[in-house]
Structure formats: structure tokens, C-alpha cells
Amino acid sequence: MSVPERRAVPSLLHVDSILTHLRGRAALQEVCRFLQAEFRHYPWVGVYRLEGETLVLEAWEGVEATEHTRIPLGKGICGQAARENRTVIVDDVSASPEYLACFLSTRSEIVVPIFAGGAVVGEIDIDSDRLAAFDASDRGFLEQVAGRLSAAVAAGAKPG
């Protein structure tokens, strides 16, 4: 699976439009909803916000809720991506020592950090039920989405 340029460009414009109309958690929720609906290989899409040493789930879209709504930085592929300040793609989660299982159906995962001022403030986490669902085009596309989400993630920290 991949995200060809002809789909990435209009999708990024749509994300921009969401972010002009919505703020904070509502914006993150709508971006998750859009990505999950638009890309068949993104069956579960979540956004975590880094709060101290813990990743806190701010918004998600998919069939099932995850029990991992708070992930310590030391745990999981989510923790790894935040610690290492980089996108992590795992083609086969059953072979990953870092993997924190959420859904029985998950076969592969991508975690993309969201930066503000050079520091990780959150991340996009996508689980797929296919092996090796994510390639360099997903990484490139999702890093561009993540680059747009830093203000919405920061706003999520505020009450209301």
C-alpha cells in the first residue's frame, strides 16, 4: 500500500481546511476521522500528546478503542518514536520487541512524531491489519500531516 502524490496533495489540502475550521482536540479528531476514512490501509488512526514522560491519547478513529490511552515514554513503538525523534515503521509487529499490543488484528504499524520548536510534542499512530502496510510514501505523507498538527496538539493540553 502507499500514498501516491495524486492522493497526498488533495489530502493535505483537506487537512489544512480542517485546521482552519477546528481547533485543539476537535481538529485532531476530525483529522483522525478523515485519514481513517480516506485510506483503506489506515484502519486505526490515533494522535497522542506528550505530557511530561507520558503519551496521552487525544483522539482516535477506528473500530475499537485501545486500552493504551497513556503510554510511558519507555514503552511501545510509540515510546520508541518519541525517544528517538523519528518515524518508526514496523512491518511485522509480532517480530518487534518494543510492540505494545492493542488489537489482535494488528500486523504492522507506523508512528510519526509531531514536533514543535524541534521537540516532540506528540505523534500520529496508525495500526494496519496487513503486514508491511506502510512504505516511504506513507512516511512522507504522514510527516507532512504531523507538521501541521503541532498547534492542535498544544491546544489539546488546555482545558476546554
For ligand SME, the closer of residues 100 and 154 by Cβ is 100
Which residue, 89, 150, 144, is CA-closest to 114? 150
Residues 50 and 20: beta-carbon distance below 8 Å: no
Determine, following the binding rule CB under 6 A, whether residue 58 of this chain makes contact with ligand SME: no
Q: How many residues bind ligand SME (CB under 6 A)?
A: 13
CA distance 99 to 15: 29
Residue 78: closest CA among 30, 122, 35: 122
- Determine which residue in the list 59, 78, 82, 89 makes contact with ligand SME, applying CB under 6 A: 78
Binding residues among 129-158 for ligand SME as defined by CB under 6 A: none
Interacting residue with ligand SME among 77, 89, 133, 145 (CB under 6 A): 77
SS3 135: coil
* Candidate segments 9-17, 24-32, 69-77, 144-152, binder of ligand SME by CB under 6 A: 69-77
> How far is the C-alpha of 158 from the C-alpha of 27, rounded, in Å?
14
Angle between helix axes 136-148 and 5-21 (nearest 10 degrees) is: 20
CB nearer ligand SME, residue 3 or residue 45: 45
- The correct pick among 76, 113, 122, 156 for binding ligand SME (CB under 6 A) is 76
- Contact residues for ligand SME, defined by CB under 6 A: 46, 66, 68, 71, 76-78, 99-100, 102, 109, 125, 127
